Amino acid sequence: MLTERTPEQIAALVPHTKKWTERVSRGHITDREVGSNGIRAVLRLAHDQATSPDVKKALAGDFAITWVRSPREAFALMNERGVTATGSHPGHLWGDWWAAVPAYYEEHCGIDVWGGAKEAAMGLLECGWWWFGDGWVIASDRYVRINRDEQGRLHSALDVAIGWSDGAGFYALRGIRIARDLGRSVLAASRARAIALGEPVPELHPETAAAIAQAEPLTPQHIADAPNMEVRRVLLDAYGVERYMTDIKAKLIDEDIDEIGQPRKLYHAKAPWLRDEGLAFVVVRDSSVRNGTRREYSLRVDPKCKTALEAVASSAGIPAHLYRLAEQA
């Protein structure tokens, strides 16, 4: 029995947690045999621990497990068979965390705290969602791709946020799931912009590539309807800030040249989602050169700014005259 951990065991907790967090945060090719063993072990544990005779009866006996590539295929198969699931399980989304703690104690402290659930927990690492009914289980593979932003939120403007091997997937920006048609429009615009700038883009599943080839163009109305400012910034970047300012008839208030000889421009406009507040952006160019070009990007600033210098300075949180001195230095 462990009563106190050593300094080495305590130090091992951080890298162990990081390792298991990364398991959740990446795509994975499913080992269906291991996954099937895990599903059967979970059902046996549930049967043994059940107190209701009806539940015990429902979980008794063997279950025929059918594997599919994605939740989309799982629901299609249930519809085809005309069956309704009596229960479901999140698979590895539970198994990853279920296994992490006992794995730590086993690997670093030499003690077994699995409580007889090791096969179930480790087997679930190979499963996506799965559904069960009267003697049957339909199990989905894990997703094969997942994209997150720097804060760990589901996000990609260049690919699906989560994708399965059959081409199923969904789109998300800054942790917010977006509609399929809008997602395709964002991908089409963002990828075209990245390619024009000579930046790398991920290879898409053929189904996704075919879909975005037929996507409707991104419009200013999409930007106006964005659910929050973070998503709106992504849409603006995909659309192109200067193009957007032109299309909404924004007024160029001021322009000058920065300390590295690059232009910067301040625009004002009336944005439909801001009611009486004006919209102001300062458009600048990146200080670094990639593939022979400098990327243009935008900063939303206080509409009270009157000059490009004041706008850039305000984004840095300092007065314009001090920012100018810093530039000159």
Give mean pLDDT, residues 20-28. 80
**pLDDT-based confidence at residue 73 (cuts at 50, 70, 90):** very high
pLDDT of residue 2: 63
* Statement to judge: residues 92 and 26 lie in one domain: yes
Residues 174-209: pLDDT tens digits? 999 999 999 999 999 999 989 988 889 999 999 999
Closest among 167, 168, 170 to 180, alpha carbons compared:
170
Domain residues for the domain of 160 are 147-224
Residue that is last in its domain, among 142, 163, 197: 142
CA dist 187 and 235 (Å) reads: 10
* Statement to judge: residues 11 and 99 lie in one domain: yes
CA dist 219 and 129 (Å) reads: 36
Residue 60 lies in a domain: yes
- Count CA atoms within 13 Å of residue 253 on its CB side: 21
Give mean pLDDT, residues 275-296. 72
197-223 b/e with 16+ CB inside 10 Å = b?
Answer: eeeeeeebbeebeebbeebeebebebb
Instruction: Give the count of domains, the chain.
Output: 3
Residue 41 lies in a domain: yes
Residue 1 lies in a domain: no
* Statement to judge: residues 108 and 65 lie in one domain: yes
- Report the interhelical angle of 180-196 vs 229-239 (nearest 10°): 50
Share of the chain above pLDDT 90, in %: 48
Residue 234 lies in a domain: no
* Statement to judge: residues 249 and 182 lie in one domain: no
Residue 160 lies in a domain: yes
* Statement to judge: residues 320 and 217 lie in one domain: no
Residue that is last in its domain, among 92, 111, 142: 142
* Statement to judge: residues 214 and 246 lie in one domain: no
Residues 240-283: pLDDT tens digits? 877 888 888 889 999 999 887 889 999 988 766 655 567 788 88
Least confident of 19-28, 223-232, 241-250, 284-293: 284-293
* Statement to judge: residues 15 and 123 lie in one domain: yes
Instruction: Tell me which of 246 and 35 has the higher pLDDT.
Output: 35
Count of residues making up the chain: 329
Residue 233 lies in a domain: no
Residue 253 lies in a domain: yes
pTM for the complete prediction? 0.77
Residue that is last in its domain, among 142, 162, 182: 142
pLDDT of residue 114: 87
Q: Are 212 and 176 in contact (CB under 8 A)?
A: no
* Statement to judge: residues 175 and 256 lie in one domain: no
* Statement to judge: residues 32 and 119 lie in one domain: yes
Q: Are 168 and 147 in contact (CB under 8 A)?
A: no
* Burial label, 294 (beta-carbon count in 10 A; 0-12, 13-18, 19+): middle
**pLDDT-based confidence at residue 316 (cuts at 50, 70, 90):** confident
Residue 304 lies in a domain: yes
* Statement to judge: residues 179 and 210 lie in one domain: yes
Whether the pLDDT of residue 137 is over 60: the answer is yes
* Statement to judge: residues 35 and 103 lie in one domain: yes
* Statement to judge: residues 25 and 101 lie in one domain: yes
